[in-house]
Amino acid sequence: MKNLTIHILFLILISSFSFASSAAYPAHWWQEVDRSTAPGWEVLPQQAGEGEVILSKRNELGILSNFAATDFVYKGILYKSVEGFWQSLKYPESDIDPRATYEGIEWPYTRAEVELMVGFLARKAGGYANSNMREMGIDWVTFQGKRIKFWTNIKGAHYELIKDALRTKAKQNPRVMEILLSTGDLILRPDHIMGDAPPAWFYNKIWMELRSEFKEEFL
């Protein structure tokens, strides 16, 4: 833990000197991509405004995506990605969970299986869960047996849970911390269209909050 703290401190010092003072960011972060070759949902690197950068999966910034395969242990459980963590919250925690006993509802995966998923597979598992939640008429997920309102514009329990998962991901993965700090003071934008989503969905804004937090914590 001591070595990791020293490493993080070093990264903060380097990023503060190199990026805040000279704005010498990698040019490929804004490399133009042919729109005709990209899916409609994608926000391309060149669409960043002044002082902004897109957290594109086309380069190393993609490691900050919830989809990225970045192992982390949270509250004693191994997750392969933040997306896997996020979507697993929708699944029954036990055989007596009301979601597991609801008549006519089937779950294609177990919660433990979803915890180990990454990328679009985890998102697909979440899609099945969304359908079940609509069928049951519920708007909550669970963590450690506690019900948490899922779709809300308040930065409540769900928001704090996702933020803590992202915090843990960065602290347990030096490369994630390195990439985050290397963005200096740039405004981070998501690489996909967000629409009118709750605060917990805006991982880019959460990363900016955490970036400031890490700088204060280690300096």
pLDDT reported for residue 23: 58
How much is the pTM? Answer: 0.90
Which pair of structure tokens corresponds to residue 209?
């909050």
pLDDT reported for residue 218: 77
pLDDT at residue 12 is higher than 80: no
Instruction: Please identify which residue in the block is written with the tokens 């002082």.
Output: 51
Residue 217's pLDDT band (cuts 50, 70, 90): confident
Segments of the chain assigned E as strands: 52-54, 72-74, 77-79, 140-143, 146-149, 187-189
Per residue in 137-180, pLDDT (tens digit) is 999 999 999 999 999 999 999 999 999 999 999 999 999 999 99
Give the Cβ contact number of residue 199 at 10 Å.
16
pLDDT reported for residue 21: 41
Per residue in 84-101, pLDDT (tens digit) is 999 999 999 999 999 999
pLDDT reported for residue 10: 52
- Each residue of 206-219: b (16+ CB within 10 Å) or e? bbbebbeebeeebe
- Share of the chain residues as helix, strand and coil, in percent rounded to the nearest 5: 50, 10, 40
The answer to whether 12 touches 4, Cβ cutoff 8 Å, is no
Residue 24's pLDDT band (cuts 50, 70, 90): confident
The answer to whether 74 touches 168, Cβ cutoff 8 Å, is yes
Mean pLDDT over the full length of the chain = 92
